[in-house]
Structure formats: C-alpha cells, structure tokens
Chain A
Amino acid sequence: MPRIAIILGCIALAVLPLLGASGYQLFQLTLVVTYAVAILGLNLVTGYNGQVSLGHGAFYAVGAYTTAILMDKFAVPYWATLPVAAVICAVFGFLIGLPALRLGGLYLALTTFALSVAVPQLLKYKLFDDYTGGVQGIVIDKPDAPFGLALNSDQWVYLFTLAVGIVCFVLIANLVKGRIGRAMIAIRDQPLAAEAMGIDIAMLKTYTFAVSAMITGIAGSLGAVAVQFVAPDAFGAPLSLTFFVGFVVGGGASIVGPIFGAIFVEFIPNIADQISKAAPGAVYGVLLIALMFVAPGGCASIVRKLAARMPWNRKTT
C-alpha cells in the first residue's frame, strides 16, 4: 500500500512544476522525462536482458525523424505520430535484433555502436533528402494545448510528455515483473539454465530488443516535439553514449534508475559548464567518477537501500 502512495506522491511531485516553473524550466523537465523514457528502453535490453547496446541513439533518431517527417510532410498531428514511431522503431529494432543478437556481449556492443555511427550519415543520404531535409534537418511547430485548456504550449508539452512517460514506465514495470521479465533476467544470469527451462533465448532476446527500441523510439518522438527540430548531427554516437551513461548512473535492472540517469545527463553537463569553461568535459568526468564511487550500483541502489530501511519494509527483511 505505501508503495502506491509513494508512486502517486512522485506523480504529484512531477505535475507540480506546472504551477510555478518557467517555460525554460519546463522545457528542461520535458527533456528529463524524454531521456528517462529513452534510458528506460536501454535499461530493458541492457539492464534486464544483459545485452549491451551502444546504439540506442539510432532508435531515438528514428523515432524523432518519424514524428518530424509525419508532422512536416504529411501534416499529421504530433500525438498521432507517437504510435507510428513506436511501430516503426519496434520493427526496426526487431530487424536489427535478428542478426545482431546472434552476437553476444562485446560484439553486440560494437555492432550497435556501428549503428549509432551510421545513422547520422544515412539521414544525410540524398535518396531520403526530400523527406529528411538533409543536413539542415526539419523544423516543426510546437503544439498548443487542446480542448481550450488554460496551459501554454510549454506546460502542455510537459504534461503530454509526462503522461506518455508514465504509461511507458508502468508498461515496462509490469513487463519485467511478470513471466517474460523473469525469463529476460534468467537469460541474462544463467542462459544455459534458461534454455533448459524451455525459454527460446534467441526469440526472446529479439523481442526484448524490439520492445526496447520501441520505448526509446517513443522517447525520440517526444524529444522531437519538445525541441521542435531534428537534424542528423543531433543523433550521433555521443547521444547513444549519453544514454549509456544515464543507464549506468541510474542503475541497471531498475525501474526508477532511468529517472535518476536522466536527471544526471540533463543537468550535470550544465553544472560542469558553470564550473569550468576551459574543460567542462574533464569536470563532467570527475563528477561521473565521484558518483560511481558514492553509488557503485547506480542511484537505484541507494534508493533500494533507503527503501529497505523504511518501517513498512523492515519486517520482511
């Protein structure tokens, strides 16, 4: 029971900024939610299923471009682009997953990394130029609040992103708690035993990859709506690494982890920039290392330890 109270409390806390935050702060929070969803997708495949992916920026890019192209060339409303982006990314993830997941461990990491390096160049390719806008990218319009709601567009985009984000988190939380989730974890921890239990490893891995790509693709779609702009150079390898950093910082195989990871990747570079203009990268690195010392299992491990000390959890331990 207190668990549900905590979750509802967190949601209330997340809605709170609508009352007081400035447009710029809401924009930042929208990006936090977007990154959290993207990292959630990565966490599913890497954290729960043990497949290291360094290429999730590619799925984010596909999601973002799907939304931008549908809005720009086909005048589809932003909300209707989300399911399309989800389906396209799931299919894309499935197709990539089929051959890639035959490769284990580090080889999969490299394959997916190659994907993240290739995507910006493919987006610039002249065959798709008419749709993707080439290097210039696509500028899209910011949605206004519907039904005459008394919200400005920043508030509405935040609320919309938050709602989609919550749905994604609830879906994935349910998925990993159930039979399929246990199978994913079994494949990560004991592939032989999992196979002996009758789990079709290759198939489940591929499905996991597809769902993971879908979630990250939805994040890309949300990100495009928030930023109102997509361009190939925004989706290079650094983006994939950013997600990976967020994943590790947040903590693997955790539902709340991606939220902390997203807060880290969104705000720490700004703090690093404030501390030193000469070497923000070095400051970022030091902060990252410091965090890894303080919380070796990621932020989620601290949350778990704190939760274990709560009075309603004590009797069970």
Chain B
Amino acid sequence: MQRRTLLTAAAALTAPAIFRPAKAETLVGVTKTEIKIGHTVPYSGPASAYGAIGKGHVAFWNMINAQGGVNGRKVNFITLDDGYVPSKTVEQTRRMVEQDEVACIFNSLGTPAISAIQKYLHSKKVPCLFVATGADKWGDYEHFPWMMGWAPSYQTEAQVYAKHIAMTKPDAKVAVLYQNDDFGKDYPIGLKAVWGDKYSKFVVKELTYEVTDATIDSQASSLRDSGADTLISVCTPKFAAQMIRKVADLNWKPLHYLSNVSASAGSVINPAGAEKALGIITSSYGKDPTDPMWADDPGMNQWRAFMKAHLPDADLADSGYVFSYGVCLTLLQVLKQCGDNLSRENIMRQAANLKDVIIPTLIPGIILNTSPTNYHPMRQMHLTRWTGKSFTLFGDIIDTSH
C-alpha cells in the first residue's frame, strides 16, 4: 500500500518534468501561460512622487501582454505600496514571495527599503533585479549574487569625473566636498579607483558636510583658500544650491563638477542663480524628456508613442516614466533571453549575461553589459554642462568599464 503511494507520487512528480528545468533549479511563479513579477514603490507617503514609476511599469507590462506576452507567457505584474517605510517594504516583499509566489522582485526603490529586504531575498534565493537606487553596494556579486542594480552607481559617476579631469586637465588641483553619509562616501572611492596613487597629487583639499548642517559657507571658503582650480561638489540639492551661490560670491572660478542628483534646473540651478551656475559640469545617462535636443529623437518618440497609447493622461515631463520604460525594457530583454527556462537561477543567470543591450531612452553610447562578475549594468555616462538655460551634452561618452 505504502509502496504504491510512493510509486504514484513518483509518477506524479516525473510527469511534468518536461516543464521543469534541469538539475535542482527552483521554478516559482511560472506556469505555461504566465510569469509573476513583484514590485514595491511608494504610492503614498512623503516619496509618493515615485509612484509614477510604478504606474509606468504597469502600463508597460499591459502593453507587452496585449502584444502576446514574452515567449508566449503573460506577465502578471504585482505592484504594492510601501509608503517608503522599510518595514512595509519587508512586509509587502514577503507577501509577494510567500503568498503570491512571484518568480522575482523587480526595481524596488530606495536604499533603506532595499537594505531591509536584501538579506531576506538572499536567503530565499529570489532574484532582485535592477533596484532603483544609486548606491554601489547593489553590485556586490560575491556576497549578494541575487541582487543587481541598474542605473550607474555613485562610484561610476565619480569615476566619470575622475577620467574627464585626468584626460583634459592632468595638472588640476582638485577640491572635493562631499556629504558625510553613504551617498557622499561613494565618490572618493570612485575617484581613487581611477586616480590610484595620484589621488593625493590631484586632490589638494577634501572636506565633508553633514546633512544637518545649516550652511556650507565655511567649507566653501576653506576649499577656495586651498588654491584649487577644480571643484567636485557631491551635494544634495539644498547644499548644491548653496555651494553654487557661495562659489560665485567668493569670486572663485573653479571648473565645477556637481553630482548628478543635484542636476536640476528647478530645485538647484534657478534658486542659486542661473548665471552663477554657468559652466557647471555634471553627468547623465538617460534622455531628459524636457530637453529639446530629444524632441525628434526616434528613441524618445518610441517612448512618447507608448505614453500616448497607454498613459494618455500622464505628465510627459516626469522623468519617472522615462526611467520606468528603460528599466522595463531591460527586464524584458532578460525574460526574452531566458527562453522557456524561467527558473530563478536562470533569470539571475540571464540578468548577469546582458550583452550590448541598447535602451532607446538612454543617451546614445550607453550600452548595458553584465557578467557573473559585473553586476553594474550601466558603466558609462555622458557629461553635460549648464549653458544658462539648460544642461547641454558635450564631449563623448565616458566609459568606466575598463
């Protein structure tokens, strides 16, 4: 009797073997007709502006499903509100992994949120693809092989500036100001990665400020007194605006590099004074939907057509939608590469096997590549310069991948 039950069980287990991947790979959230993907983003709370990204994602996968899905499977895209509260992110992610049983988690947003779910997803061996933050630690393929970032990390950005300075101004005397937290600390690491021993030759003064500081006037003054002719300001918007104004007030005219989180006309440049910011250099990887340069760009027109068809009421100036479209296309590429094997192992293997993927909403020349030892898909950026009314691209793509 017992033996027969065993035999039946064995037969039942082997029958669907055709649909199961080889070896002991885990197939979760995948049927013959569907693949489940999970996502969290703040739709409510202080960071609810990011909700646009979630809406973009939903519209994107609806479009793909209307076109027949990926390799014959529809994408069941589950997106939940975490209100930008890490404990809520944990709860919602656990729900999607344990109750909805998604195949992978995609594009979770915010460094604290992802820090909170990193260990959990790692222990469950659930792929966590293309997370939406700039911290470099999401590319840690040795310790967290189930987690991957997407946009260039802060370290990559710092490397871009370092390379540009080394190429165009090899005898520069550089002053560095950075915010004393994990965001800011990624930059000196990036600079050192490029300059190596020459770091101390380039950098004549390095100062930090606290997010809690009222002003950075004293830092600006002592950086000027160091005799530097080049300045790298790793500042969040409020301090970036202060820095631009103070540098102008001090009548100091360094070649000024500004971290790209503050590359905003509305919240940084205009409050500081558009003419005071002339010549400021920053970097970029995505096409700006408001930049007239891309008005007739085929890639952006593809995005605009998508928006018109699937999100007709959305604000076309919101770069969240451009971001969403680009990162969804990247996941689409991964799913296509997976073919019929959508095991969690293979999803991760294919995510780490992107070869020269071109995304139409990224600046030409930015090409996505990953490998089992490179979990940073984007390692190039393009420099832009403030020309009085907008940021304008100049020079070539700067590649930090070699």
Contact = CB atoms under 8 A, between A and B. Distances in A.
A207 interface: no
B115 interface: yes
Interface stretch (A8-16, A133-141, A143-151): A133-141
Kindly state the interface size class of chain B when it binds its partner.
35 or more
Interface stretch (B75-83, B275-283, B284-292): B75-83
A137 B97 CA distance: 23
Interface string B173-194: 0000000111100000000000
Nearest to B51: A277
B84 A233 contact: yes
A126 B210 contact: yes
B43 A280 contact: yes
Main secondary structure of the interface of B (DSSP, over half): helix
Interface string A118-139: 0001001110000000111101
A165 interface: no
B98 A273 contact: no
A261 to B, nearest CB: 17
Interface stretch (B2-10, B85-93, B225-233): B85-93
A270 B115 CA distance: 22
B46 A238 contact: yes
Interface residues of A, number: 35
Interface string A199-232: 0000000000000000000000001000111010
Interface stretch (B116-124, B147-155, B238-246, B318-326): B116-124
Contacts of A23: 94, 98
Interface stretch (A24-32, A78-86, A299-307): A24-32
A104 interface: no
B207 interface: no
Nearest to B81: A273
B181 A135 contact: yes
A22 interface: yes
Contact of B86 (A121, A137, A272, A281): A137
Given A137-B112, A231-B116, A238-B45, A124 B181 contact: yes
Q: Chain B CB within 10 Å — which of A24, A124, A281 has the most?
A: A24
A277 B43 contact: yes
A234 B55 contact: no
B211 A124 contact: yes
In the A-B complex, the 6 residue pairs with the closest CB atoms: A229-B116, A24-B98, A273-B81, A231-B112, A227-B87, A24-B94
Interface of A: 22-25, 27-28, 31, 121, 124-126, 134-137, 139, 223, 227-229, 231, 233-234, 236, 238-239, 269-270, 272-273, 277-278, 280-281, 284
7 contacts: A24-B98, A139-B119, A228-B90, A228-B120, A234-B86, A234-B87, A281-B45
